Amino acid sequence: MNRGLANPAAPPSVSFWQAFAFWLKLGCISFGGPAGQISMMHAELVERRRWISERRFLHALNYCMLLPGPEAQQLATYIGWLMHRTPGGVVAGTLFVLPSLLLLIGLSWVYITFGETPLVAGLFYGIKPAVTAIVVQAAHRIGMRALKNPFLWAIAAASFVAIFALAAPFPVIVAVAALLGYIGGRVAPEKFQLGGGHGPAEAAFGPALIDDDTPTPEHARFGWNRLIRVLIVAALLWAIPMGLLIATHGWQHTLTQMSWFFTKAALLTFGGAYAVLPYVYQGAVEHYGWLTATQMIDGLALGETTPGPLIMVVAFVGFVGGYLQAVFGPDSLLLAGAVAASLVTWFTFLPSFVFILLGGPLVETTHNQLKFTAPLTAITAAVVGVILNLALFFGYHVLWPRGFAGSFDWISALIALGAAVALFYYRQNVIAVIAAGAVVGLLVEMLMLS
């Protein structure tokens, strides 16, 4: 193979602690959502450091795209595991989210404590309409990729009607879409085969530590004993904290219910974080009342501006819920929020580690690219309708903050329109759009106070 280099030297071996330093750095700078995070890993791991070849990188990515959960965090876990066994995978996946968790705990406390001050209120006044435009762009982006024929358009439309008009629970929508995809994949398979969206590897950047023809390491080979051990450990890591919560606080306690709710949410994140947000909204806002609709929008804004996966917004939900519910009493509000945020993060991300450590050896048995199955294709189509409903929900609360009986907020509408133009026409990144919205909101607040 012509690698574009004259007899390039293989990169030196990478120690566990060298990899640790890289994963920590990545966790602190992984802005830009899954696309930006995956591009960043590709540039560092494939092109510059050559820890893994292009084909092996894409092979791992296609597997992660099939799973519920944040694919970028799962990809980091997979590569860390492949390089340095289970400890490497655990470190890579943990450091991908830990800086974001710590930052969100701090920002959530600032939000709860100082959210009513003019400075913070002005920032969020401008950020919320920008986030509304971002959610609309997410629906458009996923729709353009997923809705390739009338069958999939029909599934998207039906899912929108189901959640908007009938208030159908998100898990029901996912289950029905999967069933339709299962049936459709057998009746009309050509309508449900979109592929993984990651074409064959063509670029090459020199020999990699884990190259195309590098034999699968011993720890990555499939074995029933290993699979059973992973299952037992995973079950204990879930059951021990859940059992302690039930024993000390009872099943109906806020922390126990949060842990159970976000365990379910972790298994429904097909299509990315935007897909599961409606489910989180239904549970956290409407059913449990852990936070308000406005706080949920503010939490998404914070999630968009911090590193790590967007699904880390669950840490904000946990913090606000634990803080406002005063789960440890009125004198320990910060502790309550921090513990709740940590718990929901634990139960949200535990399945991601399990999927990689369980499925990785199976994936490594063949270096062929995987494709989306028909049920997953149908689920992705349904997700488009769900995200569109989320955009309308945000738009309603931002543009009519006091309901339709109140006045229309034309300033927020102009900010949202400007954000949409920046995203769709000028293709600005999310961070820049949110920053511009925050500045405009602050200026508006200062004018109103003057």
Q: Give the list of residues 6+ apart from residue 351 with CB closer than 8 angstroms, or none.
A: 68, 69, 263, 266, 267
Indicate the SS3 state at residue 52: strand
Q: What pLDDT is stored for residue 248 in this prediction? A: 96
Is the sign of the CA dihedral 222, 350, 84, 49 positive or negative? positive
Q: What pLDDT is stored for residue 390 in this prediction? A: 76
| Alpha-carbon gap, residue 158 to 107, rounded angstroms | 38
Classify residue 366 as exposed, middle or buried by CB count within 10 Å of its CB (0-12, 13-18, 19+): exposed
| Alpha-carbon gap, residue 75 to 58, rounded angstroms | 10
| Alpha-carbon gap, residue 278 to 286, rounded angstroms | 11
Q: Is the pLDDT of residue 375 over 70?
A: yes
CA 447 vs CA 106, 411, 441: distances in Å:
29, 12, 10
| Alpha-carbon gap, residue 379 to 374, rounded angstroms | 9
Q: Compute the C-alpha angle 272/274/279, nearest 5°.
A: 105
Q: Is the pLDDT of residue 293 over 60?
A: yes
The answer to whether the predicted template modeling score (pTM) of the entire model surpasses 0.85 is no
Q: Are 177 and 382 in contact (CB under 8 A)?
A: yes
Where are the domains positioned within the chain?
16-210+248-449
Instruction: Specify the higher pLDDT residue, 50 or 373.
Output: 50
Confidence of residue 195 (pLDDT cuts 50, 70, 90): very low
| Alpha-carbon gap, residue 213 to 80, rounded angstroms | 19
What is the per-residue DSSP string for 384-414?
A: HHHHHHHHHHHHHHHHSTT-TTS---HHHHH
Q: What pLDDT is stored for residue 86 in this prediction? A: 95
Indicate the SS3 state at residue 206: coil
pLDDT tens profile 73-132: 999 999 999 999 999 999 999 999 999 999 999 999 999 998 778 888 888 889 889 888
Confidence of residue 256 (pLDDT cuts 50, 70, 90): very high
| Alpha-carbon gap, residue 3 to 87, rounded angstroms | 32
| Alpha-carbon gap, residue 246 to 448, rounded angstroms | 49
Instruction: Specify the higher pLDDT residue, 338 or 199.
Output: 338
Cα dihedral 138, 144, 150, 156 in deg (nearest 10): -10
Confidence of residue 231 (pLDDT cuts 50, 70, 90): very high
| Alpha-carbon gap, residue 50 to 47, rounded angstroms | 6
Count of positions (residues) in the chain:
450
| Alpha-carbon gap, residue 280 to 263, rounded angstroms | 11
Confidence of residue 429 (pLDDT cuts 50, 70, 90): confident
Q: What pLDDT is stored for residue 271 in this prediction? A: 58
Q: Is the pLDDT of residue 334 over 80?
A: yes
% of the chain residues with pLDDT over 90: 43
Place of tokens 């972790």: 266
What is the per-residue DSSP string for 303-349?
A: HHTSSS-GGGHHHHHHHHHHHHTTTT-TT-HHHHHHHHHHHHHHHHH
Query: Helices (H) and strands (E) in the chain — how many of each?
Result: 16, 0
Task: Provide the terminal-to-terminal Cα distance of the chain, rounded to the nearest Å.
Answer: 68
Tokens of 104: 């969100």
Q: Are 92 and 19 in contact (CB under 8 A)?
A: yes
| Alpha-carbon gap, residue 389 to 130, rounded angstroms | 17
Q: What pLDDT is stored for residue 41 in this prediction? A: 87
| Alpha-carbon gap, residue 407 to 395, rounded angstroms | 14
Q: Is the pLDDT of residue 22 over 60?
A: yes
pLDDT tens profile 127-182: 889 888 887 887 887 788 778 889 999 999 999 999 888 878 777 887 898 899 88
Q: What is the mean pLDDT of the chain?
A: 85
Place of tokens 């876990």: 77
Q: Which amino acid is at 78?
A: Y
Classify residue 343 as exposed, middle or buried by CB count within 10 Å of its CB (0-12, 13-18, 19+): buried
| Alpha-carbon gap, residue 277 to 295, rounded angstroms | 13
Q: Which amino acid is at 292?
A: T
